[in-house]
Structure 1
Amino acid sequence: MPSIYQLKPRFQNLLRPLVQRLYDNGTTANQITLLAGAVSVLVGVLIGSFASHLWLFILIPLWMILRMALNAIDGMLAREFGQQSRLGAYLNELCDVVADSALILPFALIPGVSPLLVVLLALLALFSEYAGVLGPMVGASRRYDGPMGKSDRAFVLGVLATGVALGWLGAAWINGALALVAALLVYTLINRVRQGLLEVRKQEEAQQNAPTE
């Protein structure tokens, strides 16, 4: 199924001049990764600490846009400027799930919103990313299949947070949207496992059908 992740190459092309300048100034991919994770946690803590001021939820969509840019930048620095590292791989995956949780959990503090549903959403986001990370363990690539990948979650949460901040969405609408996202995350998890296994199966079939000398 389609995902916002498929728009990533176009987004990267827009950022390429900035990435070149950052590299020229000595900025590393790991620094960008840590910055994105740290600011995500700070935004989540700030909103959670003053959750009675619902207008603060507008920080989520604003930060989501910047976070997406930073995530693209750290990947480009790593791939295009020779900064890939084992530590970077760990930081990238760990900072992503920490940041997701930090930005999802404040929704549990909105009056009338189900804390159980919010926590479930945070866990499913973590599990779906873990399913993607497990791809290389079975011989497949790191899976980013949708329909509710990281970019898609960022978009949906940004829209919900905007609705909360502007007073357009009541608790019932938010609960309904979170339940739908949770269902899509379950499908995403299953899809990533299925596509990973399918990729390995195709590789094995290609090897079996390859001509022998």
Structure 2
Amino acid sequence: MSFSIYQLKPRFQQLLQPLLAGLAKRHITPNQVTLLAMFLSISYGIALACSPQSKGLWLGLPVFMFVRMALNAIDGMLANFTQQKTAFGAILNEVGDQVSDAALVLPFALVTGIQVPLLIAVAMLALLTEFAGVAALLAGSKRRFDGPMGKSDRAFAFGLLALLVAFQLPAIWLNAVLTIVLLLLFWTLFNRIKRALPHHAAPPTP
């Protein structure tokens, strides 16, 4: 059993409940929220890439990660609340998440001392982990969100990494965090594949 911040999602959703009625009343659609989260992530990533020395942007990244997680939760809640769940919306949500992840993770490559191959390995394994979560559907399972390094956990980890960058800690600490994230991603990938596999019932005894 591995802990993941994703397990706190029900409680987080309760905090967001007051927003739902207001969004629905204004005819805001789930896909609009998904696109907003993606475009804001791309914009923030571009800002970081253009100004990698900006302490303010790095300090603001944990806050932005929290906002992004809130938007990611709201789009699904809104889809359920307004009965607007669609296949297109599900695909858009998955694609949007991966684009947002890349936009917010890759600017770390411009930080002095960061091991770029390590960062790229983390980004690629994160993508593979989410692919495994979706591929579980092909095995007859449900979409897997197992941890310990799911989407919410990565948001926390990179928010922490951004704080280390902002306070100019030695690069060895930055790369240590990335190494831990990489190892936890391997664990997460194993968990998602294992738990997606169908469990065959034991043959009846004669």
Could you tell me which residue of structure 1 aligns to residue 98 of structure 2? 97
1:163 CA drift (Å): 2.0
Aligned residue among 198, 201, 206 for 1:205: 201
1:193 matched to 2:189: no
Distance 2:94 2:36 in 1: 14
SS in 1 for 2:201: helix
Distance 1:91 1:150 in 2: 16
- Judge conservation of contact 1:15–1:73 (CA < 8 Å) in 2: yes
Could you tell me which residue of structure 1 aligns to residue 161 of structure 2? 160
Could you tell me which residue of structure 1 aligns to residue 178 of structure 2? 178
What is the TM-score when the length of structure 1 is the normalising length? 0.92
- Judge conservation of contact 2:59–2:162 (CA < 8 Å) in 1: yes
- Judge conservation of contact 1:55–1:166 (CA < 8 Å) in 2: no
1:83 CA drift (Å): 1.0
Aligned CA RMSD, in angstroms, stands at 1.4
Match for 1:80: what amino acid?
F
SS in 1 for 2:28: coil
Distance 1:123 1:79 in 2: 31
Distance 1:22 1:51 in 2: 35
1:79 CA drift (Å): 1.8
- Judge conservation of contact 2:49–2:110 (CA < 8 Å) in 1: yes
Aligned pairs, number = 203
1:125 CA drift (Å): 0.7
| Aligned 1:23-102 pairs, distance under 5 A | 23-102=24-103
Distance 1:121 1:54 in 2: 23
Distance 1:146 1:65 in 2: 18
Could you tell me which residue of structure 2 aligns to residue 128 of structure 1? 129
Which residues of structure 1 form unaligned runs of 5+?
none
Deviations 1:124-181 (A, max 9, x none): 11000000001111100000000000000001111110121133x2211000110110
Distance 2:98 2:121 in 1: 14
What is the TM-score when the length of structure 2 is the normalising length? 0.95
- Judge conservation of contact 2:129–2:185 (CA < 8 Å) in 1: yes
Deviations 1:43-96 (A, max 9, x none): 011101111334421232111010011011001011232010011011100000
- Judge conservation of contact 2:34–2:71 (CA < 8 Å) in 1: yes
SS in 2 for 1:134: helix
- Judge conservation of contact 2:55–2:166 (CA < 8 Å) in 1: yes
Distance 1:105 1:170 in 2: 19
Could you tell me which residue of structure 1 aligns to residue 22 of structure 2? 21
Match for 1:79: what amino acid?
N
- Judge conservation of contact 1:43–1:59 (CA < 8 Å) in 2: no
Distance 2:60 2:36 in 1: 16
